[in-house]
Structure 1
Amino acid sequence: MALMPDGGAVANPSKARGTAWESAVRDHLNEVLGLVDEHGKFKDIFSALNIRRPAQEGAKDVGDVHAPPFVLECKDVKAPAVPTWLRQAQVEATHAGYPYGVVVHKVRRAGVGRGRVHFDIRTWTRVRLALGVSTRRMRERYGFIPAVRGLDSTRWYLSTDVENFTQLVADIRVVMT
């Protein structure tokens, strides 16, 4: 059995790793966005902007972490399957009622800030338009790198790291308010 950060035990080590990664991403975003105090407690427990790990209810998965306006599908696995994960993130964002679904993939032997955040082309474009920035500005400001997989554009995506994504979250929240 693997131990969880809260001291509980989980029989499946893969599940424990995934849960730990989800919690680390949530905690990192809350801290960097200034949503928690020095003890990790929410400054405003009722704020809709707090980053949370939702309880899964029923057959419709709502994603691993909610970082309004994003649903994050968090993955801590060796072999990436980004296009498949991105389709999953979009479905879960729809279930949760959020406009954007993205994937946060753990990088081995690196801190949370170095984790990779993947956007499908459509989501990236919608976020870029919401921010009102050019393609070049979006790539430069948030450090996006494209990944083109063959001629099928549904397999194309753009990636940045968690640090740059955190800035993007802060920026889009300003635009959306």
Structure 2
Amino acid sequence: MANPNKQKGTAWESAVRDYLNRVLGLSAEDGRPVDPFDALNVRRAAQEGAKDVGDVHAVPFILECKDVTKGAVPTFLRQAEVEAVNAGFPYGVAVVKVRRANVSVGRVHYTVRTWTRVRLALGLNSRTFAQRYGFTMSLRGTDTGRWYATQSLADFAQVLDDIRRLSR
């Protein structure tokens, strides 16, 4: 892989996948999956066909992972939501690396629409959802298309675990 930006992106996607599998108890200490055939394993997606299906699949979320110096979060979120539709997943979020920090503090961004849908699926009111899972809101101007909710990857792992428990 000659492109250094591609290498950085791939490394970030792998770090996100490995972290989520570890904290969700889906991988052994050596990093290998406990059950390689478990549909709930977090996986890096292989790109096939013309439509992008996201970087990491963490059922029921598509994660669009970004290792960039300056982020355009609304653009990343639009991309994540399109890719979630392409992959047939209900939720798309963007996961942005924080420089010189542990993977667990990576920033997970949701559109207000996705945040609301996840909140309703968990049966929580806005205040409880925001407090329980460490969300902050970015409400920039009057264009609601630029508003988003953010949490750490560690807090996202808890959302993911809780929403999966409801589906069982």
CA distance in 1, matches of 2:167, 2:145: 27
Query: So what's the TM-score if we normalise by structure 2?
Result: 0.99
Query: So what's the TM-score if we normalise by structure 1?
Result: 0.94
1:132 to 118, 123, 138: 123
- One-letter identity of the residue aligned with 1:135: S
**Residue 55 (structure 1) aligned with residue 39 (structure 2):** no
CA distance in 2, matches of 1:101, 1:108: 23
Structure 1 gap ranges (5+): 1-9
- One-letter identity of the residue aligned with 2:36: I
Alpha-carbon deviation of 1:117?
Answer: 0.2
The alignment partner of 2:44 has SS state of coil
**Residue 77 (structure 1) aligned with residue 57 (structure 2):** no
- One-letter identity of the residue aligned with 2:66: K
Q: Deviations over 1:62-82 (max 9, x none)?
A: 000000000000000011100
**Residue 86 (structure 1) aligned with residue 77 (structure 2):** yes
The alignment partner of 2:43 has SS state of coil
1:19-34 matches, cutoff 5 A: 19-34=10-25
The alignment partner of 1:35 has SS state of coil
CA distance in 2, matches of 1:156, 1:175: 27
Alpha-carbon deviation of 1:58?
Answer: 1.1
The alignment partner of 1:43 has SS state of coil
Q: Which residue of 2 aligns with 1:95?
A: 86
The alignment partner of 2:109 has SS state of strand
CA distance in 2, matches of 1:34, 1:175: 17
1:1-177 matches, cutoff 5 A: 10-177=1-168
* Paired residues, number: 168
The alignment partner of 1:128 has SS state of helix
The alignment partner of 1:103 has SS state of strand
Alpha-carbon deviation of 1:38?
Answer: 1.3
The alignment partner of 2:92 has SS state of strand
Runs of 4+ in 1 over 3 A off after TM superposition: none
CA distance in 2, matches of 1:112, 1:38: 17
CA distance in 2, matches of 1:174, 1:76: 30
CA distance in 1, matches of 2:147, 2:84: 19
CA distance in 2, matches of 1:154, 1:165: 22
CA distance in 2, matches of 1:32, 1:70: 16
Structure 2 gap ranges (5+): none
